[in-house]
Chains A and B, each alone.
Chain A
């Protein structure tokens, strides 16, 4: 649900303007923090960004529903916060260029996707001290998805209220969106569990190490 990309013109400028500014500042900050990474790492980041875009286009049948994955949680665990934010920005920008999501709201869309993804690795590291990698990846993804979904709901609610305070039917909106949020958390966590179960068998070095006992980040 967090990757149901917000299009142009439905949110007031007081919502998307600051979002674009914050996203650009975070983009510069992430580029500074990734200054020392190898070119191979940038290529790996690009490949995982493409995976995010590709899975967004695939429909996963769930009974009467068809769910579109985002995989920002697993990508967040594999790449870390700064690179994941860049992946979210690039994915949002490419999608906006083909009419999926808005050009003026690229910043907000990237913030919504990137904020969750950025939390995935710290949560994974924390959980990996006690649990196997697959469970920890699922936990990190659940948190990532919950945060992204909650941010998406907050942005939309803010947009609805800021535009037309009198006419807003937030209850109706929340009633539709909340079950989708829960489904999103469950589906993404189950898929992340499978990804980690495979990666830990064949290339465990791709996963980050757990926090040492008593570590802080």
Chain B
């Protein structure tokens, strides 16, 4: 998951396709529409169509297909549990149970793979309570730093024999290692607070203000939205 997320994060900032240049707000609305359609669509043909549209979006954004597949197939494990519990001998039920989460996760991957996180979190932080909105930025920023530290911690545990012996001892030792990260998190928060004060922090992390800067590339997003809406209206009642 770590490598996948890091690569998607990089592609979101480095990509130069029209999807990358469209505003975050228009892509957010298109993604939300696609996810809601996938969740509520009764027609299997429509679900196949939506999944195809999601792939088309991802591939025309030049997201590597292997990376996209790896990131978007996570729901399969969970969907399989439901598939077992709801098995009725038909093809339609498993197809629906798989296509819905796969379309939604692929759409989410397209959104994150074409939108840098400050642009993506900025509109969300405006509708969420202040501490939660700030939490989105601060958590995401700290994540990659902590992942590197956890990697180092894991290596140190292995080299010092922390991964051998009874499970209880190994887990407790791993816990002590995570304790160092708790402490690091606390010290990091003190440094970050000091930095924010020095930079004239006004009490809220707003992210960039370009998330709603409309450009001609948003016409492409609007066009895709219209095509999806028209297709959904046509196929809604199909089997």
Contact = CB atoms under 8 A, between A and B. Distances in A.
A86 B129 CA distance: 10
Contacts of B171: 60, 187, 190-191, 194
Contacts, number: 273
A182 interface: no
Contacts of A43: 138, 188-190, 192-193, 196
A14 B173 CA distance: 43
Interface residues of B, number: 88
A61 B36 CA distance: 37
A100 interface: yes
Interface in A36-57: 37-51, 53-57
B35 A104 contact: yes
Most B-side CB within 10 Å, residue of A99, A104, A203:
A99
A192 interface: yes
Contacts of A187: 171
Interface residues of A, number: 84
Interface string A80-109: 000100110111011011111011100000
Contact of B176 (A27, A57, A58, A195): A195
A96 B182 CA distance: 24
Contacts of B203: 39
A138 B219 CA distance: 55
Interface in B115-162: 120, 124, 128-132, 134-143, 145-147, 150, 154
A191 B175 contact: yes
A117 to B, nearest CB: 14
Contacts of B82: 10, 156, 159-160
Contacts of B141: 46, 50
B13 interface: no
A86 B131 contact: yes
B38 interface: yes
Nearest to A93: B136
Given A50-B140, A164-B93, 16 more contacts: A30-B131, A31-B132, A38-B193, A40-B190, A40-B192, A46-B189, A47-B185, A50-B138, A51-B181, A60-B174, A98-B109, A98-B112, A160-B82, A191-B174, A194-B171, A194-B176
A51 B137 CA distance: 14
8 residue pairs, one from A and one from B, having the closest CB atoms: A194-B175, A9-B100, A46-B138, A198-B179, A31-B129, A47-B185, A99-B105, A7-B75
B36 A104 contact: yes
A37 B203 CA distance: 12
21 contacts: A7-B104, A9-B99, A10-B97, A13-B40, A39-B196, A43-B189, A44-B189, A46-B137, A46-B138, A47-B188, A99-B74, A102-B75, A103-B104, A156-B81, A169-B85, A194-B175, A195-B178, A195-B182, A197-B175, A198-B180, A206-B186
A87 B135 contact: yes
Interface in B82-107: 82, 84-88, 93, 96-97, 99-101, 103-106
Nearest to B88: A167
B100 A10 contact: yes
A53 B154 CA distance: 16
A97 B186 contact: no
A198 B176 contact: yes
B138 A78 contact: no
Interface stretch (A121-129, A143-151, A170-178, A209-217): A170-178
A94 B178 contact: no
Contacts of A21: none
B109 A197 contact: no
Contacts of A197: 172, 175-176, 179
B100 A8 contact: yes
B108 interface: yes
B79 A54 contact: no
A39 to B, nearest CB: 6
Contacts of A168: 85-86
A40 B135 contact: no
Contacts of A83: 131
Interface in A134-168: 156, 159-160, 163-164, 167-168
